[in-house]
Chain A
Amino acid sequence: MTIATTTTPLPVAAKPVPLAKRDSRTEPRLVRGLIIGFALTFLTVFVVLPLVLVFAQAFSKGVRFYLTSLADPEALAAIWLTLVTAVISVGLNLIFGVAAAWAIAKFEFRGKTFLVTLIDLPFSVSPVISGLVFVLLFGAQGFVGPWLMAHGIHILFAVPAIVLATTFVTFPFVARELIPLMQEQGSQEEEAAISLGARGWQTFVKVTLPNIKWGLLYGVLLCNARAMGEFGAVSVVSGHIRGETNTMPLLVEILYNEYQLVASFAIASLLALLALVTLIAKTILESQIEEGRPHSDD
C-alpha cells in the first residue's frame, strides 16, 4: 500500500493498478475512510469534547479566578485529603497486592481459586455497596460502631473510613496486574537464587522485584488513579464535612450543586489532568512490561 502511494511512480507504459487495490486484505479507500471517520467522530464527541469542556469551564473566568478557586481553604483541604488517602491506600495495596500475587503465583494451596475470586470482589461490587459495608460495620447501629464510639475512636465520617473504603475499592489493581505476570515468570529464577545462597529477602529484592517492577508500577498507577478519583464508596462513608472529610471528587459535586461552576470545574480539571498523566505513564509502562516478558524460546 505504501509503495503505491508514497514513492514516485516509475515510468511505465501501461497504467499500473495500485497495489492497494489488488490487495484483497485491505478494504477500499472509501470504506476505510468511513470507518476511521466514524471512530474519530465518536471519540471526539464522547471523550475529547468533554475533556476540553472541563478545562474551558475551569478557565472561563480567567487564570486568576482559576487559581483563587484552587487556593480556597476548602479546595486545599480536599486536595490534601485526596493525596493522603491515595498515599495510604496505594501503599497498603502495594504490600497486600505483592503478598497476594506472590502467594497465588508461587505456591500451591487449598482454596487458591477462592482467593483469586475474592481479590476480584471489589471490582464486581458497586462502590456504593462497598461504602455501605463500612457504614454497617462502623456506624452507630453497626457491628463494632457502638464499641468504637464508647472508646472515642472515630472511623466513620472521618479520614480512617475514607482510607478504608478507598483501599477496599482499589485492592484488585496491584494484585491483578502481578498475578499473571508472576505466573508466567514461574519460580525458577527464585530457585536459582536460593540455590546460589541468596536468602529470602535478597531473592526478593534482587530477583523477584526487578522482574515485576514495571508490572508493579503499572498496578500502582492504576490503583492511584482510582484512589484519587473514587466517588461512590467515599461518598457513603465521608459524611461530607466541609474542609474535613471531602475529597476532590466529593468537592466537585458539592460545588457543582451550589452552582459554583467555575470552582467545581477547576477541581475537576486537576482530576482530568491526573487522568492524562496516568494515561501517558500507562502507555510508557506497557511497552516496558512487554520487554520484561519471558522470551518465547525461554
Chain B
Amino acid sequence: MTIEVRNIIKRFGGFTALDNVDLRVETGELLALLGPSGSGKTTLLRIIAGLDWPDAGSVSFDGEDALARGAGERHVGFVFQHYALFRHMSVFENVAFGLRVQPRAIRKSEAQIKARVKDLLDLVQLDWLADRYPSQLSGGQRQRIALARALAIEPRILLLDEPFGALDAKVRKELRKWLRTLHEEIHVTSIFVTHDQEEALEVANRVVVMDKGKIEQIGSPGDVYEEPATAFVHGFIGESIVLPVEIRDGRVRLGDRELNLDSRDARPGPSKLFIRRHDLAVGPSGAGALEGAVKHVRAFGPTQRADILLSAVGEGTLIEIDAPRDRDLKPGDIVSLQPRRYRIFAEGA
C-alpha cells in the first residue's frame, strides 16, 4: 500500500500545523516522522489516519482518494501515544474489538475471533495476559496490546504515534528492536512519529525530518545524519558545534579571524558553520583553522570530552569536542582544531 500526501495544509486557529506538505510512502516501508514538538508530525499522522482533516490538499492510498473515506473505512491501524486501551475491557476484548464491531455481514464467528485474537497475542508474546485489564499491565505490555489491537483489523497501513514515548529507557530499547523485527515479519506499510532521533535512525528505513509544519529532509538514516540538507537538520540530528561565520570573497571568517576553510560556493553573507563534535582534529597551536584554550577535560569510555574556549570569537565561545583518549589534553593548553568535515548554511536557511 503506497501513501501519497500532496500539498497538505492544516491550521489550528492562527497556528499553521502543516504548511504544504508532500510525502510519498512506498509499500512495506517503515518510515519515521522525526521532529521537535509542534513540528506537525502527529497532525500529519492523524490526517493520514482520518482522525483529523486537512484544510487543503489530498491523501491517497494506492492512488485512491483516502479523504473520501472516514477513519473507520480506511483500514488503518493506529497506535496512540498513550495506548488508549479500552480500560473497562480485558486484554482479549480490547484486541477483539475491531473484529466485533464489523458489520454483521462480514463479521467473523466467535470461534474465528477467538483464534485470531490468540494469534495476535502470540505475535506480541503476551497470550498469558488475555484476561487482565489494561490497568494491570506495564507500559511496555500496554504498548504491545495496543499494537495487537491495531493489527486485528488487518490494516493496510500501520500508524504509530510516539510509540515508545511513555516508556522508560530500557523497555524502549527492547521494543524498538522488537518493532523492527515485527515489521520484517508482517511487512505492512508503517509510519511512526518520534521526537527521538536515535529512535528514528535506528528503527526506520527512511526518515522524514520535520520542523514548523514543513518537511526539511527525506532520506535514509545515513543520509540525514551524514548529509543534512538544512541547518535545522544538522542541528537537530546528532550533536553539532555551530559557529556564526561570515562568507566574504569566498573566504570563511569567524569574528576577526579568517579561517583556513573552503567556503564551497556558499553564498556571501552571514552564515552558520556546522561541525560534528567528533569531526574536529586536535593539533598543536597554529596548525588548524580554529584556535582555543582547553578549559576542562572529562575522560570516559573510548573518547575524552573537552571544553575549549575559542579565541577570535568576540568574548570567546566555549565548545565541547570529542577527542581520542590517547590525545594528551590538559586544562590551559592552547590547541588548534581542524574540521575534518563541516557544512556551511546561510543564515536563515
Contact = CB atoms under 8 A, between A and B. Distances in A.
Given A199-B101, A206-B97, A297-B139, A194 B71 contact: yes
Contacts of B73: 197
Given A191-B84, A192-B80, A294-B87, A197 B153 contact: yes
Interface residues of B, number: 29
Nearest to A190: B84
Contact of B97 (A198, A294, A295): A198
A188 B162 CA distance: 14
Contact of A211 (B76, B77, B87): B87
Given A189-B87, A207-B86, A295-B135, A197 B80 contact: no
Contacts of A189: 84-87
A199 B73 CA distance: 10
Contacts of B51: 191, 194-195
A247 B273 CA distance: 84
A186 to B, nearest CB: 8
Given A192-B80, A298-B82, A197 B139 contact: no
Contacts, number: 71
A238 B257 CA distance: 94
Nearest to A295: B135
B324 interface: no
A76 interface: no
A230 B83 CA distance: 45
A196 B152 CA distance: 9
A199 to B, nearest CB: 7
Given A195-B78, A199-B72, A206 B101 contact: yes
Contact of B101 (A188, A193, A211, A294): A193
Nearest to A192: B84
A122 interface: no
Interface string A284-298: 000000001011011
B102 interface: yes
Contact of B87 (A193, A206, A292): A292
19 contacts: A188-B84, A189-B85, A189-B87, A191-B71, A191-B78, A191-B80, A192-B80, A193-B86, A193-B101, A195-B150, A196-B149, A197-B98, A197-B102, A198-B98, A202-B101, A206-B101, A210-B89, A211-B88, A294-B87
Given A191-B84, A196-B153, A211-B87, 7 more contacts: A193-B86, A195-B71, A195-B76, A210-B86, A210-B88, A292-B88, A294-B87
